[in-house]
Amino acid sequence: MATTETNILNRLYFVSGSLFVFALAVVFKLCSIQFIQGDGYRELAEKRTVKDFEIPANRGNVYSADGSLLATSIPKYDVGIDPVTSSNKNFEAYIRPLCDSLQAFTGESASSFQSKLRKARETDNQYVLLARDLSYSDFIRFREFPLLNLGAIRGGFVFSQKTKREHPMGRIAERSIGYEKIDENGYATRVGIDGAFGIKYLRGENGKRLKQKIGNGQWKPIADFNQIEPKDGYDVYTTIDVNIQDIAHHALLGQLEYYKADHGCVVVMDVKTGEIKAISNLGRNKNGFYYERLNYAVGESHEPGSTFKLMALASGLEDKLIDTSDVVDTEKGILSFYGNKVRDSRNGGYGKITVAEAFEVSSNTGIVKAIDNAYRKNPSKFVDRLYSMNLNDSLALPIIGEPSPIIPDPRIKNGRWSGIALQWMAYGYGVSFTPLQTLTFYNAIANDGVMVKPRFLKEVRKFDKVIVPFEKEIINPKICSEPTVKKLQALLKNVVEKKHGTGHRLYSDNFSMAGKTGTCQKDYATKDKLNYISSFAGFFPADNPKYSCIVVIHEPDKSVGYYGADVSGPVFKRIAQKIYTDTPIIEEVQSLDFKNDVVNEDFGHYNDMANKYKQLMPYVVGMPAMDAVALLENLQVNVKLNGSGVVRKQSIDKHQKLKPNQTIVLEAS
């Protein structure tokens, strides 16, 4: 009996002891969670329900040299409501006037909105989207609607902000103005000025706002203020002159259309400073329309053809192995090197002519004979002279995508050298440069031998305060001697002024120009597939030049014409005369019918150049209404929008001068 009682007591003590130990373990675990692991668990809980969201900073604007807007960031807002968070009293008091306001704005019935919001409240749906892609003015209007004006906590007001980059000049210089796009993985695509100077100046610093998860993947701001306010980016002022840009763009566009060319580019540069005043790059799409497809001037390297003859003669003149008065035999138009033939620009050649005449008529055999005689025994000397003029150096442009020049060198393994490299280089084959690299050399000749770096920026500003000024950069203070420069300048003038010059059809009695034509073959497979690159590089006025310019057009229709003097030269002339005389130009080749809308493929861009000045009314008919409103608000005018969708009518005609705070009425479908 005693043994049985003892066993029972022992079991009782064991159970009691086990319960006591378990209780101690529970207490210990609770204390551990509360005081040791508590911070970690609290942080984990907050991460799952509360999160910092980045508020994108307003990207800085891009302006032309005279302050015309080239690129701007327009804020867009998505607005919604959390119908659960507000009290019954507030919800019932303001639900009807809120829905009336929504009806007036969207056109959707108030009863439909009310039904949607009541159902969301009954089912604890904490997010209902009310409107998407609102402009700032409409966002402010929404924020004042009944119930929403009570804020995030009492009224359930929820919104998200994003920015959209707009180019008020449309697709004119769009590739050069550029953009910066960052994908969901953080990979950035940077193009043009906007891309080159985005990180350092334009991007700004993003802000932060604390939001709480409310279900269905939606987040609601916890407070009506930001934890960290975003800091806007700086504004950059480019060297682009919108007047010259307009002239260059349309001159190139008209010629591309006439010759049905694949693509082309034009660059206008200030001789003394290197400032790029205009840059246009147009390529043809599958429908035959031209738009800013790629930045050919900066990023496309190709054999220059006859425009390289200036570099070749500069070498011979500077080394005193060639003089412009030397006589060369063009050998009836054909020279042979190791079984490979150099054919002259005219069947039968030009007989015996001076080196100067060979350049002026662009005689291939004449120039090749002169260079071969001078450097056959020491081709490295020719290459070294090209190097001394910085022709082997890239321009180190901030705009991404510039390839390095290609110059064959007999001393470098795999340096593209061959038994005919010297002779082919003499007339522009076997070497490769971008249009801007070629123009930089021509600009140096116009600038009396001073080679300046092409420059796209004048300064960086914060409001009206200059933060970073950009000054002229000299690549080489003297690429060759003064006598050599003077001879080269005279050669370029004679190409246009002398009757036998390849550029004489561009000659004008009341305006002087200097330059060199270039016609280069591409695609050597068969004669049927043979295409051409037509170019013209030079400067104007011929005496005391102000601007240098290059025009390059790829693959013009051979049945219409392909020589540089016919295809690219007229673009050069049109630009020069428009800039300096502003007189109508009568072309010998063709008359042009400019179509302002051919470069526009979507409604996101203007159909003309009406907005090249900030004070002129642009043409916004056909644009999405929200985009049109945002664009006009950037011009410091008031906008009244009737309807939504696409703009069908504007109260002020295009090209009309705008006044500050003027009201413009837009009628939309």
The residues that bridge with 528 in the sheet, in sequence order, are none
Give buried/exposed letters for 607-629 (b at 16+ CB in 10 A, else e): bebbbbbbebbbbbbebbbbbbb
- Check pLDDT > 50 for residue 424: yes
Residue/partner pairs of 282-291 with CB below 8 Å, 24 or more apart = 282/249, 282/252, 282/253, 282/256, 282/599, 284/256, 285/601, 288/260, 289/598, 289/599, 289/601, 290/253, 290/256, 290/257, 290/263, 290/598, 290/599, 291/171, 291/174, 291/599, 291/600, 291/601
Q: Summarize pLDDT for 228-283 with one digit per residue, the tens.
A: 778 888 999 999 999 999 999 999 999 999 999 999 999 999 999 999 999 999 99
Poorest-confidence range of 58-72, 78-92, 571-585? 571-585
Match 């030397």 to its residue by tokens.
326
Q: How many residues does the chain have?
A: 669
Rounded Cα gap, residues 232 and 463, in angstroms = 11
Check if the beta carbon of residue 597 is closer than 8 Å to that of residue 619.
Answer: no
Q: Is the CB of residue 472 less than 8 Å from the CB of residue 337?
A: no
Stated as kind and residue range, the H or E segment containing 540 is strand 531-540
> 3-class SS at 462?
strand
Supply 204's token pair: 């700004």
Flag whether pLDDT at 586 surpasses 60.
no
Q: Is pLDDT at 492 greater than 90 in this prediction? A: yes
299: nearest Cα among 454, 187, 192, 220: 192
Specify whether the CB–CB gap between 429 and 520 falls below 8 A. Answer: yes
> If we measure between CA atoms, which residue out of 457, 451, 479 comes closest to residue 469?
457
The pair of three-digit structure tokens given for residue 430, joined into one six-digit string: 């076997």
One-letter amino acid at 669 equals: S
Q: The tokens 């001068």 sit on which residue?
A: 657
Q: What mean pLDDT is predicted for residues 102-126?
A: 91
Is the model's pLDDT at 221 over the cut of 80?
A: no
The C-alpha atoms of residue 296 and residue 299 are separated, in whole angstroms, by 5
Over residues 500-528, the mean pLDDT reads 84
| Bridge partners, 52 (sequence order) | 210
What is the spatial distance between Cα 193 and Cα 61, in angstroms, rounded to a whole number? 11
The band of 604, judged by pLDDT with boundaries at 50, 70 and 90, is: very low
* Residue 590 clears pLDDT 60, i.e. is over it: no
User: At residue 165, does pLDDT exceed 60?
Assistant: yes
Q: Which residues pair with 476 in a beta bridge?
A: 451
Looking at 50-150, list the stretches that DSSP marks H as alpha helix, in order from N- to C-terminal side. Answer: 88-106, 110-122, 136-143
**230, 58 in Cβ contact below 8 A?**
yes
**Statement: residue 136 has pLDDT above 90:** no
The CATH architecture one would assign to domain 293-539+564-580 is 3-Layer(aba) Sandwich (3.40)
Domain definitions of the chain by residue range: 53-164+206-233, 293-539+564-580, 610-668
More confident residue, 573 or 199: 573
Find the mean pLDDT for residues 373-386. 97
Query: What percent of the chain stands above pLDDT 90?
Result: 52
pLDDT band at 159 (very low <50, low <70, confident <90, very high): confident
Q: How far apart are CA 407 and CA 415, in angstroms?
A: 8
CB of 437 closer than 8 Å to CB of 395: yes
8 Å CB contact between 540 and 514: yes
Reported as a pLDDT band with limits 50, 70 and 90, residue 599 is very low
- Which has more confidence, 33 or 292? 292
Angle between helices 364-375 and 379-388 (to 10 degrees): 110
DSSP per-residue letters across 310-353: HHHHHHHHHTTS--TT-EEE-GGGEEEETTEEEE-SSTT---EE
pLDDT at position 217: 61
- The mean-pLDDT minimum among 67-81, 305-319, 359-373 falls in 67-81
Q: Is the pTM of this model over 0.85?
A: no
CB within 8 Å of 132: residues ≥ 6 apart: 78
Q: What is the pLDDT of residue 15?
A: 72
Token pair of 151, please?
Answer: 């804020």
Distance CA 160, CA 3 (A): 78
Confidence (pLDDT) at 10: 67
With beta carbons less than 8 A apart as the criterion, state whether 98 and 112 touch.
no
Is residue 602 pLDDT above 50, yes or no? no
Distance CA 353, CA 342 (A): 17
Calpha distance 61→481 (Å, rounded): 43
CATH class, 53-164+206-233 region: alpha beta
The two structure tokens encoding residue 183: 């994908």
Contact between 637 and 662 under an 8 Å Cβ cutoff? The reply is yes
Range from 198-202, 445-449, 468-472 carrying the lowest mean pLDDT:
198-202
Looking at residue 296, its pLDDT comes to: 96
- Read off the pLDDT of residues 608-628 as tens digits, 9 standing for 90 and up: 333 333 457 777 776 667 667
pLDDT the model gives residue 591: 33
pLDDT at residue number 42: 57
Calculate what percentage of the chain has a pLDDT beyond 70: 85
**What residues have CB less than 8 Å from 171, skipping those under 6 apart?**
291, 292, 599, 600, 605
Mean pLDDT of 123-127: 87
pLDDT classification of 41: cutoffs 50, 70, 90? low
Alpha helix (H) residue ranges in 550-596: 564-567, 569-580
Side-chain-facing half-sphere of 553: CA atoms under 13 Å = 31
* Cβ proximity of 360 and 306 under 8 Å: no
Q: Which residue has the higher pLDDT, 521 or 636?
A: 521
Judge whether residue 583 has pLDDT over 90. no
Under 8 Å CB-to-CB from 312, ≥6 apart: which residues?
367, 371, 425, 426, 427
What pLDDT shows up at residue 247? 92
CATH code reported for the domain at 610-668: 3.30.10.20
Which residues 6+ apart lie within 8 Å of 173 measured at CB?
70, 240, 245, 249, 278, 279, 280, 292
Q: What is the pLDDT of residue 198?
A: 84
Mean pLDDT of 116-142: 90
Confidence class for position 351, pLDDT limits 50, 70, 90? very high
Q: How confident is the model at residue 524 (pLDDT cuts 50, 70, 90)?
A: low
Which of 236, 240, 202, 203 lies closest to 466 in space, CA to CA? 236
Which alpha helices (DSSP H) does 261-300 contain, by range? 296-299
Question: In this predicted model, what pLDDT tens digit does every residue of 17-32 receive, in sequence order?
Answer: 677 777 777 777 676 6
Neighbouring C-beta atoms of residue 585, cutoff 10 Å: 16
**Gap between the Cα atoms of 222 and 158, Å rounded:** 10
Q: Which of 315-319, 546-550, 625-629, 658-662 has the lowest mean pLDDT?
A: 625-629
pLDDT of residue 607 exceeding 50, the answer is no
Query: Does the structure show a pLDDT above 60 at 595?
Result: no
